[in-house]
Amino acid sequence: MWLLAADTTVVDRRIRMLLAHVSDLHLGRDRRTDDAARRLAAALHEGRVATALVTGDVTHRGRLDELARFEEIFRPLLDAGRLIVVPGNHDRLGDDVAGRLMSGARVDVASRPGLHAVRLDSTGPHNRSLVDSHGLLTEDDLAEAVAALDRAPAGALRVLLLHHHLHPLPEDLLAERLATLLGWPSAGELPLGAALLERLRGRCDLVLHGHRHAPSQLVLDRDGPRPLRVLNAGSTTELGRMRLLGARAGAVVLDRWVAIDGAAAAALDRRLRADRAAA
């Protein structure tokens, strides 16, 4: 069931671009996870989501066969350029498939009409070990991400995608709590995260991340001319829901959680189209 409020019609008329934020798919973990990924692909397709933004841990053990399953399930969306992906620490395990999810530089730009998405690979070589799950953000990464955001065309929604979190968040697991108590870095936020957040204020609309499997959000400058939403999708395949973001003229005008259900997605698409036609 899509979670739509009674006032949705009024909001939907302003939407020109429908995005989905999904994360931590962990393909290959078990049958239930892979089935959820298939439902997700159907929902993205049936709901005519323009672009899905995938913030890492696509695979569970970083194996090539898990990556192949991801590519098989999402093939039509990948071929149509409707997925923008960054790797997570789990993608560095096993066969290390992170480079296949994002090759080349640690920071690059994926542009779509009305969307300026800066991808930042926040993984590091230490992520080859499961217990060293924390991210990597260098001063160079930070400077390049800021410069890439500043190249956004006028009127585009400015989004930064990365896997790891920029600000402190509660630990998901007992092992993470123990790590923090022992002073280990594995469960902490990116050490330069606060510095990056400060640089993003006024020049970025959305920071999308995952890593923590429980969703969260932080909104900075809520009443200012350019609010900065820092959103954690959590694990989409565990939660069975994803975050839909509707945008127009570089601003977010809809922010809703919806269940991953293909038939319901098609119903929402019909409703959105009817609303636009009536506007």
| Residue 153: Cβ within 10 Å count | 10
* 171: contact with Fe ion by CB under 5 A: no
* 215: contact with Fe ion by CB under 5 A: no
Interacting span for Fe ion (CB under 5 A) from 52-60, 79-87, 246-254, 259-267? 52-60
Judged by CB under 5 A, the residue of 55, 89, 127, 232 near Fe ion is 89
Identify which of 135, 137, 141, 133 has the alpha carbon closest to the alpha carbon of residue 105.
141
Identify which of 150, 133, 152, 134 has the alpha carbon closest to the alpha carbon of residue 142.
150
Q: Within 13 Å, how many C-alpha atoms sit on residue 121's CB side?
A: 20
Return d(Cα 123, Cα 121) in angstroms, integer: 6
Please give the full DSSP string across 80-112, using - where no structure is assigned: TT-EEEE--GGGGSTT--HHHHS-S-SEEEEEE
**Shortest distance, position 212 Cβ to Fe ion, whole Å:** 8
**Shortest distance, position 125 Cβ to Fe ion, whole Å:** 15
**Shortest distance, position 166 Cβ to Fe ion, whole Å:** 14
* 57: contact with Fe ion by CB under 5 A: yes
For the purposes of burial, counting CB atoms within 10 Å of the CB of 35, is it exposed (0-12), middle (13-18) or buried (19 or more)?
Answer: exposed
3-42 residues near Fe ion, rule: CB under 5 A: 24
Q: Which is nearer to Fe ion, 17 or 52 (CB)?
A: 52
Judged by CB under 5 A, the residue of 92, 134, 211, 241 near Fe ion is 211
**Shortest distance, position 204 Cβ to Fe ion, whole Å:** 22
**Shortest distance, position 234 Cβ to Fe ion, whole Å:** 9
Q: How many residues bind Fe ion (CB under 5 A)?
A: 5
Residues lying near Fe ion in the complex (CB under 5 A): 24, 57, 88-89, 211
